[in-house]
Amino acid sequence: EVVLTQSPATLSLSPGERATLSCRASQSVSSSLAWYQQKPGQPPRLLIYDASKRATGIPARFSGSGSGTDSTLTISSLEPEDFAVYYCQQRTSWPPTFGGGTKVEIK
């Protein structure tokens, strides 16, 4: 199965700063990569799909890029509600797999 490695494990930033999260796949996932945000006690929430398409209702400060084995989620200017854990997920190969997550915390 495809292993997704996310880095860094933790990102300590202040509101208004730019966040750059990385997801590396053990083999090519083409552009079939999604990003989810999860807050404590809540289910994951779809942010980005097919590497760069924002899901319904997702603010423009969230953007995704990349293809093949390397993908990036960028939050252009952190809002207080953006501090959470972010997961990448691939759906190119069976079974679908998730990364281990990046926690974006307040510095």
Q: Please report, for the chain, how many H helices and E strands are present, in that order.
A: 0, 11
Work out how close the CB of 98 gets to other proteins at its nearest, in angstroms, rounded to a whole number: 5
Work out how close the CB of 26 gets to other proteins at its nearest, in angstroms, rounded to a whole number: 15
The answer to whether the CB of 12 falls within 8 A of the CB of 22 is no
The residue among 14 and 56 lying less far from other proteins, judged by its C-beta, is 56
The answer to whether the CB of 79 falls within 8 A of the CB of 15 is yes
Tell me the two tokens of residue 70: 């390397």
The residue among 44 and 64 lying less far from other proteins, judged by its C-beta, is 44
**Residue ranges in contact with other proteins by CB under 8 A:** 34, 36, 43-46, 49, 55, 87, 89, 91, 94-101
The residue among 61 and 103 lying less far from other proteins, judged by its C-beta, is 103
Work out how close the CB of 90 gets to other proteins at its nearest, in angstroms, rounded to a whole number: 8
Helix (H, G, I), strand (E, B) or coil at 105: strand
**Cα–Cα nearest to 75, from 22, 25, 33:** 22
The residue among 25 and 34 lying less far from other proteins, judged by its C-beta, is 34
